[in-house]
Structure 1
Amino acid sequence: MADVAALAGVSHQTVSRVLNEHPSVREATRERVQAAIDELGYRRNSAARALVTSRSATLGVVTTGSALFGPTSTLIAVEEAARDRSYFVSVATLRSYDTASMHQALEHFMAQGVDGIVVIAPHAAVASAVESFRAPVPVVVVAALEGATTSDGPASSTMSVAVDQRAGARLATEHLLDLGHANVVHVAGPQDWFDARERWAGWREALVARGIRPARPRECSWSAGDGYAAGRDLAEAVGSGEGPTAVFAGNDQLALGVLRALWERGLRVPDDVSVVGFDDVAGSAYFVPPLTTVRQPFAELGARSVAMVLSSLEGEPVAVQRIEPELVVRSSTAPPPP
């Protein structure tokens, strides 16, 4: 910085202000300093900065290592949001969901001196392991839970943010009910995942609010294969005249499997059966037919999780946050057959 200041003919403090985008610097001065930075190839010394500020400008991110759309999209969104705030990201991937593995990942971040941690915890076991670890830095859990607790009570350093999965499921189910469907079945994801639990609950709430008694959902994994198996059973029931007129699938991959099974049986979507998914994965607009689904705002989820960590670092109170999803209506839904 001293070399930059000397070349630009300004003070060390002015260079610092330019680097930190301080508004008090005149534009001509800013351009002169930037030209000196470019000429000298100056880069911030993160290690030196950490010594001065007692912060590493690094966030730890724990992810489950899943290739599923939701966790992967969340990880990308968190990394982009951190970079926008001039933070580095260190990622730890869990291969198993036990407490020992989670604690090892968190201790790894403590050794790195991270300023805070974001845990992408869609699985119940992951969140439980986080709750048992008393981290000395802010921890944000990205999961659809009401608040992180331990056996000793609330964990003050643990906060949560999530897309409102239950609200999204209500949007999907109410859309089908508003079209006139009275028999809406749910092909559910695995119930050890928070998202699957909340989507199940939202579907049930929407039916009960309309005076409809829900049948028990078909519980599956998140795979298209499981959706296909469930769809074959549903297609048999529809073919016999006893099946549903609408299906709410726990994610778009399950919906894809259901669509294939219905097609093989000769049932038309949405003429015979309407189908709604969840996630709005890349390509869902090109399913046959294009899939009505619930879109999750992952960019906002990432931005809020990073903002919560940084606000907590500044001593600001941070509440549990929920982000509203959006229903995307396409061609896979229509009124039921007469």
Structure 2
Amino acid sequence: MADVARLAGVSAQTVSRVSNGYAGVNEETRRAVLDAMKELDYRPNSAARALKRGEFRTIGVITFTLATTGNVRTLEAIATAAAREGYAVTLLPVALPTQDEVRGAFSRLEELAVDAVIVIMEVHLLDAVTLTLPPHVQVVVVDSDAGNHYTVVDTDQAGGTRAAVRHLLDLGHETVWHLGGPEDSFAAQRRADAWRAALAEAGRTAPPLVRGDWSAESGYRAGLQLAEAPGCGAVFVANDQMALGLLRALHERGLRVPEDVSVIGFDDIPEASSFLPPLTTVHQDFAEVGRLCVAAVLRKVRQEEPERGTTLVPTRLVLRASTAGPGRRDAE
């Protein structure tokens, strides 16, 4: 900075004001400083500037898995929204949702100098009695039942599920079977609870719940069971990958979709419209989830504390060719 000041014939303070974009420097002086910077190949030290200001313009993201579509697309949306605000993202995956793992992740992020943290939990935070988040860190939580304990952003899991179940019942199906996600997943449990509630509201009996692990392979295995289940004429699947496996299993068992079995997924992944048949599914707005997460955490950074509690992002049902009225299996 001193070299730039000497070459431009100005003070080091003026160089600092120009490099930080402050007003109050006339255009001739500003141009002289910028020319000197260019000639000397001077670049401001962003790390030193961050230490001085106590602001690193980096958001930490902790996630327990990158194996699910929801987590990956949420992470992508957070990174995109952060970049629009001039922030970078530091990702720190942890192996297990335990207190030691979480504490270690926050300690590591503090060493890496982040301004705030977004946690993609996909767990029952309140049920894990020993799992708490550091109170001194600015935190926003995604996909958890943290309730009023933290600022939470989540997809409207229950609303999307009710729309799917009602669509199948409105088509004339007597009941709706459910291929759910893993039991330890908050999103999977919310969808399973909403499925039961929607059937109860309609005066229908809920069939036995069949679970997978979000993968297409687990959907295929569960599909082989459902293909043998009497009266299974409509299935709501907790995600699109498992629905893909289900479609394969039904095809191998000689069952047609939607003539024999109607199928609805959840997520609306880009490939869903290319399934055979194209999959009716619940669309999640991951971009909006990411935007709201970044907006909430930056309000915390700027000491504009957002209210604790959960913000729900609406879903919408996307109708394609995998659902139709009752077939012969509904009467079995």
Q: TM-score scaled by structure 2? A: 0.84
Q: Which has the larger radius of gyration?
A: 2
Cα distance change, pair 209–99 in 1 and its aligned pair in 2 (3 A): same
Contact 2:165/2:195 (8 A) holds in 1: yes
**Contact 1:59–1:115 (8 Å) recurs in 2:** yes
Identify the match of residue 168 of structure 1 among 156, 160, 165.
160
Query: 1:167-212 CA deviation, whole Å, 9 max, x = no partner?
Result: 1111211111122212210011112100101111221222122111
After superposition, the Cα gap between the structure-2 partners of 1:56 and 1:135, relative to the gap in structure 1 and judged at 3 Å, is farther
**Matched residue count:** 320
- CA shift, 1:270, in A, is 0.5
| One-letter identity of the residue aligned with 1:98 | T
Amino acid at match of 1:309: V
The equivalent of 1:57 in structure 2 is: 57
**Structure 1 residue 102: deviation in Å?**
1.3
Query: Any residues of structure 2 matched to 1:1-338 within 5 Å, and which?
Result: 13=17, 16-17=20-21, 43-124=43-124, 128=128, 131-147=131-147, 149=149, 158-237=150-229, 242-319=230-307, 320-337=310-327
Q: Deviations over 1:19-44 (max 9, x none)?
A: xxx9x999x99x979x8699566655
- Asked if structure 2 preserves the Cα contact closer than 8 Å seen for 1:235 and 1:243, the reply is no
The one-character-per-residue Cα deviations of 1:120-169 (angstroms, maximum 9, x if unpaired) are 111236994895232422111111425264xxxxxxxx321111111111
Does the 8 A contact of 1:17 with 1:25 survive in 2? no
- Does structure 1 conserve the Cα–Cα contact (< 8 Å) formed by 2:126 and 2:145? no
**For residue 184 of structure 2, what is the amino acid of its counterpart?**
D
Q: Which amino acid aligns with 1:82?
A: A
Measured in 2, the distance between the counterparts of 1:74 and 1:214 equals 31
* Structure 1 residue 317: Cα displacement: 3.3
Report SS of the residue matched to 1:277.
strand
Report if aligned partners of 2:125, 2:131 keep a CA contact under 8 Å in 1.
Answer: no
When normalised by structure 1's length, the TM-score is 0.83
Are 2:280 and 2:321, in contact at CA under 8 Å, matched by a contact in 1? yes
Q: CA deviation at 1:215?
A: 2.2
Partner SS, residue 282 of structure 2: strand
**Structure 2: runs of 5+ lacking an equivalent:** none
Residue 69 of structure 1 and its aligned partner are, at CA, apart by: 0.8
Q: Secondary structure at the match of 2:270?
A: coil
Identity rate, percent: 40
Q: Displacement of 1:247 after TM fit? A: 0.3
Unmatched 5+ stretches in structure 1:
150-157
